[in-house]
Structure 1
């Protein structure tokens, strides 16, 4: 109670003092020395008696100033850097922040892998991770950045671990794929932590020591205690910046930096291995493999990371194999084994030794014997699928059956290595593909596509073959099925009845077996649900005490087994069919066998309880109509097969063989002219002139009135239906319209699309002439090589269509224009020298020059005057007019009437017009001019903004000037300053200035006639 009373008393005194303006503490409550000091002041003889003034307890808010600087800056300004502060600051920075951030970053890098597993059969990636694969944990890397940033902000910047924190931050940015911030961080380290003392470093930028440029920080690490000293992170930052620039594909800058560091006398020897590694990596990703070998050897010899050295040794062995040095390759693979790397690397090195020995000595049996010995070792148990696959690859092509057998055994081994499974599936598919067993090849390509990852090196080949073989298998099935049906139909009724009866018996037996199996599974559901894993059954009841789906181990094992067997299947209905599942088909050669496949050749899907010989016989082609339809489907299938082999699989020999067989089997094939023409074209591609001429003669002599004979004679189809003819005409009109509008890229694209869609057609001559005109229009190297590209294109049309008079006349006119092009260019060159203003703008006196990258726009002046000038240099240069009679008389064109007017009482704009400048440089120019106006013309309030007149004409508009004189004064000023100080990165030839009134600008915006206004501006302003 006494305490409470005392507290209340004190609060009352405090409130009273605040209200009366008295001191907060009374005299009796003051310390004794303070009371005496006050009394002495009161009794001082020469001191004026003053009324005591109370001091406020809190400063007013307006007097409080908050210091927003980080603690590191405050410490740098106010704290002395003595030995005590050095010790505690370095220790806190190192162990509270740097140590934990480094451990986390190393753990992230160590555990990060590429998407999928490495394919050791091709050149390995230099590092076991990829920045593009996003195999790193972004959350963990962000944590590293935050931790290092906290250390930098909270601790004294003079500490020796601050640069190491910056280095960790840059590495975290690098692994995140934020290369821009990584590069900036490493650059900051190189600049901010450069030595300032002359004893350490002569100059910050660089110094010459024995004619060698030095940019590195010298490290004193001699002796035992010297090697224990703290290293300079700045030297490491040079190498990390080089790696960052390599990822940004700045190869020239990296090469210059590495050359300097390689000859730098101050660059520490502890980083010699890292420097060689970066040099090797740069050559490796640029596929300069011979130049990679030497720095890679240095990196292996001087490297410190055992795992990295083993990987580089394996890559070096692969490079030696590529350079045909098997002995050196074997030495490197043995070095990999001696380093005792991870089990996968050790295993793959042994496989490479076995392959290399088999290839160099020819002792395949010895290599297979060694691999069989590896199968028996327990430490290689998890790699048995890879061993069997390698044994199969060694057996092929000498013993394809043995190779397939080994690879199929590999598929039976339980494994979670999807890359190995992908290689095995593809290996079997490739063997079947080479054997032309496309039915089985299709099955295994389907399986390959189901398990392979997106970055699998042969993924495009697998995807194409999978798609095409699906169509091939359908045709092969059609041929096999219809041939079998026709054989059954050709039998006598008694023989046919015997075969059908056997089929019915087989189908009934299969149905009974299936029903019996279903009953057994229903009676023993656990046994039926067990998963087969390479001959051993896994049952959920092995896990005691937990239900299967509640047991993490059981679920993980089941998921791994499903993924091993079926790959990355999507959770969709009917996923077997959605993954282009296996289609059963057998060889069509030989007698009809009573198998599961042959029971369905009738094409009838019948329930098991209604199968009979009569129902099966109903699907046979026993009538002339059904037989004709069956024969037609077979003929069409043979024809389609030839096209698929040639066009999509690019197997010309097999396409030719298929069509040769077609002509033997069906000498009266309804599409025989096209078959003969195709054989003529395909033999010509293979440079088999004799066979090509043979089929060419057959087409011309036997089918001279067909389209294919016309193609051989003149290259044009004649007899086509009206709808197709209309489509081709529409396609040509669209391409020509694009050409007429100056959109040459679109015109060429439409022409190529027509070639791909319609092939050789009745308007082929016009399409080819249009292509020649486009080449002439876009040929910018005429003066360099005398228009060789343009002349060759036009001459090809003249040679190809010598008998087509209209096309030949237009092509000859085009050639005449090209022959006079040099004369025209000479005239234009002289005109440019004579008529060029101070800005470098060509004063073309209405010579309508259009560069290939510009899009011609209709000129309002032309429409107002009703006609253009007598001579149009663009049309003369392109040669698209009618044939030119004799030499071209070159003369200066007449001046047209212009719609623009001089108006003195109008506000004015100054315009900067760009030609072929990137958006980045335009934006930079906009910012630079804004800064210039703010500094030089703040009172004038000149605004600058971008304006798009046409897709090819982009401008900066400076506004607003009250009269013409103000605008011209600013125009003269910025013209002089632009090149030297405002926009020095943009070449003067890529932009021009002009002044325009508001009324003329409105007119320009409606007409898009920029060339016309430039002419008006030159005549009325520049020449005055």
Structure 2
């Protein structure tokens, strides 16, 4: 009997379940069966996936505390997501569960949903799409709740999430309107009120209505039961008060964050303390109290993850308090924490750079600015500001490096033999100590890691110690030895690009100038040579010509530094010392007079009138016919731009260049280059001379002039322009092969009359006649010009002919009377080939081709 009874009960249960599974019957059993199944199966798993994804978002998100924090911790990416793809698998899984719940458990009977869990399913669907940054589909799901389930207990949540999606779509005004209506019509309590108020605050922030945003954040912070959210809202309030300039109100908001203590994330607590310290009143505040607070924050073990921010703020406090050395120490401590906050790094490097700049240590400031730029977004506004600062230091860093290196060499040249030997013996001892220390560090690191050592053949060592499993580690798979190798390479060679011939000195990074010549030689020496003092002594220049060259380079660097400090940075004392050092160093004659004149101007600017009078008399007595003496003797007759100034002469010469007086431009440029040697205008004259040489003598002359300018004046704007021409333009001009006519490529053609050694009057007369004749030509709009080809040859060129056939039969365009006026031989050339002829001066090669 038992078996039939069980079978009957099983059959009844099966029938019951089958009947309750139907989604078409509006029965108590059916509704509750599908409601329970949806809630505790699909929706439960979906919300777990949503929470997992949300937690991953929070963990990956990095708040930028240098700006006002967003209300919600979510980074919106601009990446395009194709249909069927997802930015986060957890949100994709949550969406799948929501869709599954809707598809399998929805009970839409007679246009009305009978399953009370479906509003929850659509809310989950909207949230999953929102966090997956698909805001339009999220709006669709949330709007469906508002349309289909107006009596749902989730209706207020749906409205809030809809406005969150609107805000992400930049519909801030619409979100404000809808949220205001919601708060007015509904008596929201608890978390619903907190969510609505906080998102309304975000909309006001986006529209720059800061005071109203603060009010809404106050409501949200009071209503929420989540202390994480409360701490964030209070902290943002403090930031907004600071933005408005209300420091007292900001400090009250930060105090409320601090009062939460362990109940809120520690990052809010620490940053609130630091923000309060930024608001400290240095004139009336208690500095001892602030110092004690900073010390407590620094020494608290719980604050170790935030030492980067703490050290930075301590440095800022000491800097503002006038303790520069302490500030530098703490900024460096902050940088050594290897912080994830790139903006913090950038601000630390920038501050250190500014401190060195203010102390006139420009080379070091330049290196700090380099590090600043490496931690900023490329081409952002802060990046461009720092880049401008760094570019201004380019020349001073370059010339300071030359001056320092050459001074070191010349000091060694002038040392007695015994002093040289003692110097390099001491130097070698230091090298040995450093090498031993490096060796010990490497051995200790390898002992601790139990991995491969550099000493093992091929960088491989078998570990057989203790009970550890035998293993063979390739050198480049060992992080310890690999890191050591990288550091050693950078120490020896600097930052080298990955290319052929990387060992050449010219391949080194331009912003890592090694000014210590001895260390540079030690880096490339063999092990035997590296610890031999005589090896270094043998490298000291001994030839008089070589020593003179080093001395000249050093003196020119002094002169350029003097000009830079005087004109660009207004550092008159620094400029004075450079010019004075130059005049003591037996400089070339060309540098003496401009150096003395610049010293005279500096003495005047510094109010050292007696020194200025001495310098003035020296110039007038020793160089009575110079331009400088004329200026000093008759200052009332000289304007800032007198006709003999380099600027005025350059402008006049440029006009001659435009008029194709190339030979005159070349000779005068050479004269002015000698006259104004050392002046900032000299590179401009060199560039004008190179261009005129190219126009008159062709490609090779232009190439030679540009190359000289690029090497000799490498750090001037003209030198950099020449480097660009050499790299990017000359290769395109190098091809001298003539181009054949092609039907697919339309060409203009020119009719060219050649005049060799012809008087200027003959050419101008022919040009006037030609202009008159061309005016009589029908159907064609033609013009003529006179072009210089070479020192003795000029062209009269007719422009405006579109086809080769018309150009070849040019005579037939003229009237019979005009044909008698123009009886000079001519040749026809395409515009492209005419350009090649002018660039390479290869007219004979062209005429030898059967083109005409």
Determine if the TM-score, normalized by the shorter chain, exceeds 0.5: yes
Post-superposition offset of 1:711? 10
Alignment partners' CA distance in 1, 2:189 and 2:528? 87
Aligned equivalent of 1:703: 645
- Rounded to whole Å, the distance in 2 between the matches of 1:284 and 1:316 is 11
Q: 1:598 to 1:724 in 2, by over 3 A?
A: closer
Aligned-pair distance for 1:352?
Answer: 2.3
What is the TM-score normalised by the length of structure 2?
0.55
Aligned match of 2:326 in 380, 402, 407? 402
* Alignment check: 8 A CA contact 1:333 1:349 kept: yes
State the Cα distance separating 1:381 from its structure 2 match.
4.0
Partner of 2:93: 143
1:349 has 2:349 as partner:
no
Cα distance, 1:641–1:366 mapped onto 2, change above 3 Å: farther
Rounded to whole Å, the distance in 2 between the matches of 1:557 and 1:274 is: 51
1:383-462 matches, within 5 Å, as 383-397=306-320, 398-411=322-335, 424=348, 427-444=351-368
Q: Note if 1:312 corresponds to 2:262.
A: no
Structure 1 position 124 matched with structure 2 position 69: yes
Q: Helix, strand or coil: the match of 1:242?
A: helix
For residues 948-971 of structure 1, give each alpha carbon's deviation from its aligned partner in whole angstroms, at most 9, with x where no partner exists.
Answer: xxxxxxxxxxxxxxxxxxxxxxxx
Q: Is the Cα contact below 8 Å between 2:88 and 2:132 reproduced in 1?
A: yes
Question: Is 2:561–2:575's contact at 8 Å kept on the other side of the alignment?
Answer: no
| Alignment of structure 1 residues 517-556 onto 2, 5 Å | 517=437, 520=440, 526-527=446-447
Deviation track 1:642-671 (CA, whole Å, cap 9, x = no partner) reads: 78x99xxxx964699988887777795599
* Change over 3 Å in CA distance of 1:125–1:260 after alignment to 2: closer
Tell me the equivalent position of 1:103: 48
The yes-or-no answer on 1:482 pairing with 2:381 is: no
The Cα of 1:232 is off from its aligned counterpart by 2.5
Q: Kindly tell me: are residues 757 and 545 of structure 1, through their superposed partners in 2, closer, same or farther at Cα, counting changes over 3 Å? A: same
CA–CA distance in structure 1, aligned partners of residues 339 and 523 of structure 2? 41
1:509 corresponds to: 429
Equivalent positions of 1:931-1010 (< 5 A) are none
For 2:154 and 2:469, locate their aligned partners in 1 and report how far apart those are by CA, in whole Å: 58
Counterpart for residue 165 of structure 2: 244
Alignment of 1:480-629 (within 5 A): 480-489=404-413, 491=414, 495-517=415-437, 520=440, 526-527=446-447, 577=496, 583=512, 597=516, 599-600=518-519, 606-607=525-526, 609-610=528-529, 611-612=532-533, 616=537, 618-620=539-541, 623=544, 626-628=547-549
Instruction: Name the residue aligned to 2:765.
Output: none
Instruction: Give 2:202's match in structure 1, choosing from 266, 278, 281.
Output: 281
Q: Is the 8 A contact 1:508 1:608 kept in 2?
A: no
Aligned CA RMSD, in angstroms, stands at 5.7
Whole-angstrom CA distance in 1 between matches of 2:162 and 2:89: 23
Structure 1 residue 585, shift from structure 2 partner:
6.4
Aligned partner (choices 128, 131, 134) of residue 175 of structure 1: 131
Relative to structure 1, is the Cα distance of residues 168 and 757 closer, same or farther in structure 2, using a 3 angstrom cutoff? farther
CA distance in 2, matches of 1:316, 1:695: 65
Query: Which stretch of the first structure deviates more once superposed, 510-519 or 707-716?
Result: 707-716
Q: State which of 139, 142, 164 in structure 2 corresponds to 1:186.
A: 142
Q: Distance in 1 between matches of 2:393 and 2:382?
A: 16
Could you say if the C-alpha distance between residues 268 and 112 of structure 1 is closer, same or farther in structure 2, counting changes exceeding 3 Å?
A: same
* CA distance in structure 1 between the partners assigned to 2:430 and 2:351 by the alignment: 33
Alignment match, 1:363: 286
Residue 143 of structure 1 and its aligned partner are, at CA, apart by: 0.3
Aligned to 1:932: none
Deviation per CA, 1:62-100: give whole Å up to 9, x if none.
Answer: xxxxxxxxx9xx966x322x3333322222222212222
Structure 1 residue 101: Cα displacement: 1.4
Deviation at 1:294, TM superposition (A): 2.1
Partner of 1:112, secondary structure, is: helix
Cα distance, 1:382–1:498 mapped onto 2, change above 3 Å: same
How far apart, CA to CA, are the structure 1 residues paired with 2:472 and 2:382?
Answer: 40
Q: Give how far 1:139 is off.
A: 0.7
Counterpart-to-counterpart distance in 2, 1:290 and 1:562: 52
- Residue 250 to residue 574, structure 1, CA distance change in 2 (3 Å): farther
Kindly indicate whether the alpha-carbon contact (under 8 Å) linking 2:424 and 2:536 is maintained by their aligned counterparts in 1. Answer: no
Cα gap change, 1:303/1:470 in structure 2, threshold over 3 Å: closer, same or farther? farther
Using the TM superposition, give the Cα deviation of residue 142 of structure 1 relative to its aligned residue in structure 2, in angstroms. Answer: 0.5
**How far 1:549 sits from its partner (Å)?**
9.1
What's 1:971 paired with?
A: none
1:617 CA displacement: 6.7
C-alpha distance in structure 2 between counterparts of 1:448 and 1:558, whole Å: 27
Kindly indicate whether the alpha-carbon contact (under 8 Å) linking 1:703 and 1:709 is maintained by their aligned counterparts in 2. no
Picking from 108, 132, 154, the partner of 1:232 is 154
- Of stretches 438-447 and 415-424 in structure 1, the one that deviates more from structure 2 is 415-424
Judging changes above 3 Å, is the alpha-carbon distance between structure 1 residues 459 and 704 closer, same or farther for their aligned structure 2 residues?
closer
Structure 1 position 176, deviation (Å): 1.6
Equivalent residue for 1:162, pick from 109, 118, 122: 118
Structure 1 residue 420: deviation in Å?
6.0
| Contact 1:116/1:453, CA 8 A, preserved across alignment | no
Quickly say closer, same or farther: Cα 1:355–1:618, change in 2 above 3 A.
Answer: same
Deviation at 1:312, TM superposition (A): 1.7
Q: Aligned residue for 1:89?
A: 34
1:371-409 CA-to-partner distances (Å, cap 9, x unmatched) read 212334333344344433322110014111111122334
Give, in whole Å, the separation in 2 of the partners of 1:695 and 1:527: 81
Alpha-carbon distance in structure 1 between the residues aligned to 2:593 and 2:36: 88
Q: Residue 338 of structure 1 is aligned with which of 234, 259, 262?
A: 259
Deviations 1:349-375 (A, max 9, x none): 222233333557443343122221233
Question: What TM-score comes out, normalization by structure 1 length?
Answer: 0.47
| Cα distance, 1:274–1:117 mapped onto 2, change above 3 Å | closer
Extract unaligned runs of 5+ from structure 2: 1-17, 452-461, 499-508, 584-589, 606-634, 660-664, 670-686, 696-717, 723-777, 782-852
Any unmatched runs of 5+ in structure 1?
Answer: 1-70, 196-229, 532-539, 587-596, 684-692, 729-753, 759-863, 868-1024
Aligned length in residues:
578
Distance 1:105 1:478 in 2: 62
Partners of 1:671 and 1:127 in 2: CA distance: 68
SS class of match (2:68): coil
Q: CA deviation at 1:147?
A: 0.6
CA distance, structure 1, for counterparts of residue 436 and residue 400 of structure 2: 34
Are 2:221 and 1:300 aligned?
Answer: yes
Is the aligned partner of 1:79 residue 2:2?
no
CA distance in 2, matches of 1:697, 1:115: 65
Q: How does 1:816-855 map to 2 (within 5 A)?
A: none
Larger Rg: 1
The structure in which a higher percent of residues are helix is: 2
Report the alpha carbon displacement of residue 721 of structure 1 after superposing the two structures with TM.
Answer: 3.6
Aligned partners of 1:425 and 1:447 also within 8 Å: yes
Deviation readout 1:150-203 (Å, 9 max, x if unpaired): 1111112422221222122122222222222223323333333346xxxxxxxx
* 1:379 and 2:321 matched: no
- What is the alpha-carbon distance in structure 1 between the residues aligned to residue 381 and residue 470 of structure 2? 38
Q: What pairs with 1:552-951 in structure 2 (closer than 5 Å)? A: 577=496, 583=512, 597=516, 599-600=518-519, 606-607=525-526, 609-610=528-529, 611-612=532-533, 616=537, 618-620=539-541, 623=544, 626-628=547-549, 630-632=551-553, 635=556, 639=560, 653=569, 697-700=639-642, 702-703=644-645, 706-708=648-650, 721=688, 724=691
Give the match for residue 731 of structure 1.
none
